[in-house]
Structure formats: structure tokens, C-alpha cells
Amino acid sequence: MFTLNNGLKMPSLGLGVLFAKNNGEVENAVVSALNNGYRKIDTASGYGNEEGVGKGILESGIDRSDIFLATKVWNTEQGYDKTLKSFDESLKRLQTEYVDLYLVHWPVKRKYKDTYKALERLYTDGKTKTIGVCNFSIPQLEDLMEHSNVMPAINQVEMHPHLSQNELLEFSKSHNIQLEAWRPIMMGEVLKIPELVDIGKSHSKSAVQITLRWLVQRGVAAIPKSVNPKRIAENYNIYDFELSPEQMQIIESLNQNRRLGEDLSHIE
């Protein structure tokens, strides 16, 4: 668990569901994750699968109050009034009365500050337990903090062994903003990185498990995506070992500042 800047506790590992489809696939993934100990599910309006996530949570039989549920406002829904409307539609699809975390999905130019003001309203009204952003650079965070009343609790960004984001991590820790990694296992690419494979052998773990453990040990939450029950279970099995300082340093040395997704750090 990580404690956010408003005191709310959030699981260090969650299930990501990007590209998982309604009508069975995402529902089964959510049920599988919750049955294997996960208590955080991360979705988004832009994923088009909030309805399936909501069904999966209900099908799991796990009490809603025991689940940390996160969703995001999509780019075309940003702006103050549109964000409030989008949030209500997300709640209906998820079949819930609240979410635990609501995020600005991307920093849309000339809109993200108004969008965040809507998030502040939702937070004040108790419709979301905490709020945050995704894919914000340090200048964008500084700009947002200057024009907002509630410090973002989360910044969800691309982070993995080839993109360690050290400067952003240091900044975030100094301002008590929790970083969370999307695409943490590089869509499976980490399985082909020899250093991670070798470290994994010393712990009888996979390169994927080593990567997720590295993130958690450096104080970063992660939301690996999978719809495969075996991999979902394996991804969560990272709490029975610890990486040595030397192993952590080896993984740090893999950084290439290489992105697999978009970089919108220039948006104002």
C-alpha cells in the first residue's frame, strides 16, 4: 500500500485494462485479478470498457468498499462542464456511486486546468475520494499547482526499465505526488532484457516480476495490463522477495529515455 497526500491508502499494484474488450474479456480479467488478491482496477472513459469493468466487479463478489477503482476523463471530454458530464456517465457505466481516483488522462492544451477544476469540484462533493493526472511533465505540474487548490495525489506516467523518469520521480517525491507506471512491463519486452532475466533467476522470478518489484521498491505504483489469468496471478506475486541495492542499480542502468507511447510534455 502507498499512502496518498490526502491520507487515502492505495494498493501498490493494480490491474490495467487498456484494449480489454467488453462482453467477456475485461469482465473475466477483473474477476481473475480480484480473485488473485488485486484490490485496484484502473480503467478510463477512453478505453471503452468501463461497463465491463463494472460488471466484473459485481461478478467478483468482492465488496465495492474493498476495491480501489480508478477511471479517467478522455481528451474529447475535457473542459469544466464536459468533464462533470463525462464523470456522471462513467459512474453509470461502472455501476457505482463513486470512484476512488479520478484522473485527467492527458494534458489537453488550454483545457487541462479547467478540467482539473472540475475534478476539484467532484472531490469536494465526495464523488471521488482523490484526484490526479496522467502524463504530466514537471512544467505542466508546476503550472497546474499554481492554478489549483487541491494538490494532485497521482501522476500516472509511462515508466519502465528503458524510461526510468528519475527527474520526475524526484520532483514528485518532493511534492508528495505519487507516481504510477503505465506500460510498466513494456508490453512484454522486459522478458527479452538479459539483465532482468538474470536477476530473475536469482530469485526464481520472471523478468516481469523483477520489473514490477523494482518499481514498487522505488516507491512507484504500477498497473500492468493482462487478460490472461495465469499472467494476472504471476504479476501480483512480487511481495515475497526483495531486490538488493546492487540489483536495483543494474535495473536503473538500463534507462534509455525511450518511450513506447506519446510524449506531450510540450503542451501548455
- Kindly list the catalytic residues: 47
Which 3 state secondary structure label does DSSP give 130? coil
User: Residue 75 and residue 242: Cα distance in Å, rounded?
Assistant: 39
Closest CA to 250 of 179, 199, 186: 199
Residues 6+ apart with CB under 8 A from 151: 5, 145, 175, 176, 177
Rg (CA), the chain: 18
Closest CA to 36 of 213, 231, 200, 186: 231
Residue 139 C-alpha cell reads as 512544467
One-letter identity of residue 133: V
User: Residue 183 and residue 85: Cα distance in Å, rounded?
Assistant: 28
DSSP 8-state class, residue 27: H
User: Residue 74 and residue 46: Cα distance in Å, rounded?
Assistant: 5
Cα-flanking dihedrals φ and ψ of residue 169, to 5°? -65, -45
Residue 128 C-alpha cell reads as 471521488
User: Residue 258 and residue 242: Cα distance in Å, rounded?
Assistant: 26
User: Residue 237 and residue 204: Cα distance in Å, rounded?
Assistant: 12
One-letter identity of residue 86: S
Give the bridge partners for 230, in sequence order: none
